[in-house]
Amino acid sequence: MDKAKVLFVLGTRPEVIKLAPLILRLRHSEKLSCVVVNTGQHREMSREFLTVFGIIPGYDLEIMNERQSLGYLTGKLCFRLEEVLMFEKPDLLVVQGDTTTAFCGALSAFYCRIPCVHIEAGLRTGNKSQPFPEEINRALIARLADFHCAPTQRAKANLLREGISKDKVLVTGNTIVDALQIILAQKKGFLNKTLEKTLKISNKVVTVTAHRRENWGRGIEEVALAIKELSRRFADVNFFFSVHPNPVVKNTVYSLLKDIPNVFLFSTLAYPDFIKLLSRSKLVISDSGGIQEEAPALGVPVLVTREVTERPELLEAGLGILVGCSRERIVEEAAKRIPLGRGQNPHLVFGDGRAAERIEQAIENFLGFCSRKIEEFKG
């Protein structure tokens, strides 16, 4: 039997990180070949993170322009992806998560009558505006996809409640834990020497990120003002803020925090450097979904600067707390935790490092190469 062609559509930093373990596995598959399409939704970050994992895309669509609307982006993405699909004629298309890239990949596969597998399926907040537009994107992908790889039992339950057949859902764990293990095993030095030098003199570290669209404006400002207050209260703690390149975020953060001695502002870090930073942190303050998955695996508590989360497992395990973008709430909860030792062992809430293996087996089953029983992740 000839190899089946699996086409991966990605374009953002988290998609690269979470799809890399599966793409790397398929390099050695006797049954499956892969083609990688980078939409360039996060143009520079996606390229940089592909390089970290040694992945060269077959296509780089470069679809991003300044100030284009979501509607314009969606139309352009579908048009360009349809061209690729008509030429490549893959046996299967894989999307990950809930970005506009993932939604357009699933929609284009449907239009071209190509089966689609959705990785990280079933996450829900129940609020269509939080996160925006991701909550609606992932709900629509669930209607378009033919097989669903849910990261946790709760995510699977969400899909079953929505009418997805249980034989079309597999709990795999989240591939971000696989990616984390790949990076930690590399044991490479820092790429950012300034970060390395600063960490050497930092006994107490708090990591901060902020990027979500629904927090743009006043929300990002409140987070920055909270860090300003915390830096004053805890002069012996160094706050490392990984600043998203979007001007809406960057301009606000730099205007409020650029001259504070114990606040260090970095442009988006290479993934290995960010994991080194996170692993040395007492606390992380973030609105990132990926960090809610990475931090528990490293034993780092999380203050989630959102009103809701699609990862309630984090809260139920006592590994994180929702603080919204309230300056007072962020300062209050951080001030409770910063004086404490880390006090947490790594928790495999979201995966055990075998998600990519399970997904590869599920794809082989789906395409008819075999019909093996796959042991689900129990999380």
Catalytic residue positions?
211
As a whole number of angstroms, the distance between CA 142 and CA 26 comes to 24
Please say whether the beta carbons of 173 and 355 come within 8 A: yes
Q: What are the φ and ψ backbone dihedral angles of 369, each rounded to 5 degrees?
A: -75, -30
As a whole number of angstroms, the distance between CA 288 and CA 184 comes to 20
As a whole number of angstroms, the distance between CA 80 and CA 140 comes to 20
Q: Would you tell me how many other CB atoms lie within 10 Å of the CB of residue 76?
A: 17
Please say whether the beta carbons of 289 and 282 come within 8 A: no
As a whole number of angstroms, the distance between CA 227 and CA 239 comes to 8
Residues in CB range of 261: below 8 A, 6 or more apart: none
Which H/E stretch holds residue 285? strand 283-286
Instruction: Concatenate the DSSP letters of all residues of 280-316 into one string.
Output: T-SEEEE--HHHHHHHHHHT--EEE-SS--S-HHHHH
Q: What are the φ and ψ backbone dihedral angles of 236, each rounded to 5 degrees?
A: -90, 0
